[in-house]
Amino acid sequence: MRIPLLATASFLSITPVVAQDQAWPDHIICSAGVYHYFMLDGTASFRTEGPWESWIGFRSPSGYDYDCRVEDDVIAFRWNNDRENLDSRSTTFEIDEDILTIEGDMTTYDYERNGDGWRRLD
């Protein structure tokens, strides 16, 4: 039996840059995108320390920090792997009705809104 992964946003004082869709604001798209791109075991929490320069910050359950922002139909990421700063703009998304589809380099998954967060559909 598969248990769906649920994520909720404890959205403190971070303001999304440009909301793509009323049902899918940037911080929720980024939350699902960080989970998807970095293949996390659990959902990342929002970071409140900055400066952000239009990026939204996340901390993974294992303590790694990632920044994310939505650029048209791309989910952009930046992070540091202790040796260098890295970034990626290879993850794309689309919203059809209430479903968010995120396509990365290796996988494509659909997500639906669940309360203040999202749930991955299998």
**42, two tokens:** 């659990």
Average pLDDT over residues 34-48: 94
Q: Establish if 47 belongs to a structural domain.
A: yes
Task: Please say whether the beta carbons of 68 and 87 come within 8 A.
Answer: no
The structural domain count of the chain equals: 1
pLDDT in tens, 59-88: 999 999 999 999 999 999 999 888 899 999
Q: Establish if 5 belongs to a structural domain.
A: no
∠ Cα 79 74 59 (to 5°): 30
pLDDT of residue 120: 97
Between these two residues, 52 and 41, which has the higher pLDDT value?
41
Long-range contacts of 39-42 (CB under 8 A, 24+ apart): 42/5
pLDDT of residue 3: 41
Which amino acid does the sequence have at 97?
Answer: E
Domain range for 46 is 19-121
pLDDT of residue 21: 53
Q: Establish if 10 belongs to a structural domain.
A: no
Sequence-distant (6+) residues with CB within 8 A of 5 are 35, 42, 43, 119, 120
Q: Establish if 92 belongs to a structural domain.
A: yes
Q: Establish if 44 belongs to a structural domain.
A: yes
Distances (CA, A) of 57 to 26, 36, 104: 12, 15, 20
Q: Establish if 2 belongs to a structural domain.
A: no
Q: Establish if 91 belongs to a structural domain.
A: yes
Q: Establish if 12 belongs to a structural domain.
A: no
pTM: 0.80
- Minimum mean pLDDT among 4-8, 43-47, 104-108: which range? 4-8
